[in-house]
Amino acid sequence: MAGTRDGGNGSGGTKPVARRLLATATRLFAEQGYDRTSVQEIVDAAGVTKGALYHYFGSKEDLLQEVYSRVLRLQQERLDAFADADAPVEQRVREAAADVVVTTIENLDDASIFFRSMHHLSPEKNKQVRAERRRYHERFRALIEEGQRSGVFSTATPADLVVDYHFGSVHHLSTWYRPEGPLSPQQVADHLADLLLRALRP
Amino acid sequence: MAGTRDGGNGSGGTKPVARRLLATATRLFAEQGYDRTSVQEIVDAAGVTKGALYHYFGSKEDLLQEVYSRVLRLQQERLDAFADADAPVEQRVREAAADVVVTTIENLDDASIFFRSMHHLSPEKNKQVRAERRRYHERFRALIEEGQRSGVFSTATPADLVVDYHFGSVHHLSTWYRPEGPLSPQQVADHLADLLLRALRP
DNA sequence: CACGGCAGACTAACCAGTCGGTATGTGGAA
DNA sequence: TTCCACATACCGACTGGTTAGTCTGCCGTG
């Protein structure tokens, strides 16, 4: 039934038109929100028609989910790499905390869609996204707990709350960060990671 | 032209029906999002008809703006009170930081609407809301800067970023906080304020 | 009787998704 | 080489359904 439809598969060879459609949709969703963006607008901006869009994607919602899974995959991979590295906990946390800030800023459109439009997904897809998000959260929490057990981090705050505290600031980036501002992504990331580490000092 | 329309004025004597409509709309917007909630749903849930709603409000968007201005008014008042108090900076920051967490949790519906649906407002109204938010932000920043100047807070991070860091976590509350969870609003608030203060230690 | 408060049918606009049709490309048989 | 069969890629008019907002009129109260 799916024909050439591009479900939500791995990475590899997506067709140029499909890629352009997804990129255009991402931009428009970020600018105007999911509900305020019509399928017609997307195909017009991408220079094709509805026939093309529905040839590659099953529904408007599928476009949204594609954005999510791309972001989640990317960030999970990066977190795993930093967490598994061979370095002191303190440094691994700092690098992971800073990295998620940089990649979030570099994909600010995806991020703002992610945090603003998740509730537009159908219950099943929403559940799936939440599960992936939890996996990410747990991985980060484990890292904090490791530091707390080994005594380099304070145990004054439950690790769960610490993670939510930091990801709050990441979440918030799309609200206030502007590329034309005075701070580079890396500078912002270093500051935010520093705040986290300072808060965790015993 | 406005007749009995309730623009977006002060506090005082709003009619019961108008209050019920606003409360119902707030709940539905928080549950389903602004765009996914039809005016028909709101009036059905409130036990009236469209005639009543458009008698008291000029448009669906006006309902949204009412939610915003109520929250902003409340939080600005409280921040001013804490900031103007006669106490050491450290304590004033701690109390203000904790208070905004408590009041956000106590009005979690308003908060999630606020952070998720601001982009649904028309440009003018959006601008107005942003201006009020900036006022709030600046007040908080001034407090941090005062502490930095007097040496009780580290100057390692620009005050602006510190404010965004903390409000990120406040913003984020509506994503993860659940009333049935293990922590009371006050406990969460104390933890988050503590994290902020610990991060600011010189 | 005048008017605020509200009912509810109505309208004009819009939108996601469908579907029959067309163009382009590819591989194999004659 | 020519021609046919078939699939992929895409077009765009159309449909069924929904929505915000309007408008006419009723009804109880002062």
What band does A16 get if pLDDT is binned at 50, 70 and 90?
A: confident
Q: For strand C, which nucleotides have at least one atom less than 7 Å from a protein CB?
A: 4-9, 14-21
Mutation for B interface: A28, A114, A195, most B CBs within 10 A: A195
From A116's Cα to the closest Cα of chain B, the distance in A is: 5
Burial of A13 (0-12, 13-18, 19+ CB in 10 A): exposed
Predicted pLDDT of residue B13 = 54
3-class SS at A122?
coil
Task: Measure the CA–CA gap between A82 and B178, rounded to whole angstroms.
Answer: 30
pLDDT score of B3 more than 80? no
pLDDT score of B167 more than 70? yes
**Total CB pairs under 8 A between chain A and B:** 89
Predicted pLDDT of residue B9 = 41
- B3 CB and strand D closer than 7 A: no
**What chain A residue is nearest to B113 in terms of C-alpha separation?**
A116
Task: Measure the CA–CA gap between A90 and A145, rounded to whole angstroms.
Answer: 11
Please tell me the total number of residues recorded for chain A in this structure.
202
Mutation for A interface: B116, B144, B172, B173, most A CBs within 10 A: B172
From A13's Cα to the closest Cα of chain B, the distance in A is: 34
Least confident of A19-23, A134-138, B9-13, B141-145: B9-13
The contacts of residue A78 (CB under 8 Å, 6+ apart) are A96, A99, A100, A103
Question: What mean pLDDT value characterizes chain B?
Answer: 90
Q: Which nucleotide is nearest to B57 (CA to C1')?
A: D21
Q: For strand D, which nucleotides have at least one atom less than 7 Å from a protein CB?
A: 8-13, 18-25
Burial of A77 (0-12, 13-18, 19+ CB in 10 A): exposed
CB atoms within 10 A of CB B8: 15
pLDDT in tens, B102-128: 999 999 999 899 888 888 888 888 998
Inter-chain contact B168–A164, Cβ cutoff 8 Å?
A: no
Q: Kindly report, as residue ranges, where domains of CATH 1.10.10.60 are found in chain B.
A: 16-58
Name the amino acid, one letter, at B199. Answer: A
| Chain B CB contacts of A115 below 8 Å | 175
Burial of A143 (0-12, 13-18, 19+ CB in 10 A): buried
Inter-chain contact B198–A196, Cβ cutoff 8 Å?
A: no
Partner-chain residue, chosen from A172, A183, A192, that has the shortest CB–CB distance to B167: A172
What band does A14 get if pLDDT is binned at 50, 70 and 90?
A: confident
Specify the DSSP element, H or E, that contains A79.
Answer: helix A60-84
- A59 CB and strand D closer than 7 A: no
Mean pLDDT along residues B2-19: 56
pLDDT in tens, A71-121: 899 999 999 999 999 999 999 999 999 999 999 999 999 999 988 888 888
Mean pLDDT along residues A32-36: 92
- A51 CB and strand D closer than 7 A: yes
Q: Kindly report, as residue ranges, where domains of CATH 1.10.357.10 are found in chain B.
A: 62-200
Query: B185 CA, D4 C1': separation in Å?
Result: 75
Predicted pLDDT of residue A13 = 55
pLDDT in tens, B46-104: 999 999 999 999 999 999 999 988 889 999 999 999 999 999 999 999 999 999 999 99
Task: Measure the CA–CA gap between B143 and B89, rounded to whole angstroms.
Answer: 7
Please tell me if residue B158 touches chain A, with a CB cutoff of 8 Å: yes
pLDDT in tens, A161-189: 999 999 999 999 999 999 999 999 999 99
Q: Which CATH superfamily is domain B62-200 in?
A: Tetracycline Repressor, domain 2 (1.10.357.10)
Residue with token string 């308003």: B110
From B169's Cα to the closest Cα of chain A, the distance in A is: 4
pLDDT score of B12 more than 70? no
pLDDT score of A44 more than 80? yes
Query: What is the token pair recorded at B83?
Result: 């900031």
| Chain A CB contacts of B32 below 8 Å | 119
Predicted pLDDT of residue A9 = 39
Burial of B2 (0-12, 13-18, 19+ CB in 10 A): exposed
Predicted pLDDT of residue B24 = 95
Report the CATH number of the A16-58 domain: 1.10.10.60
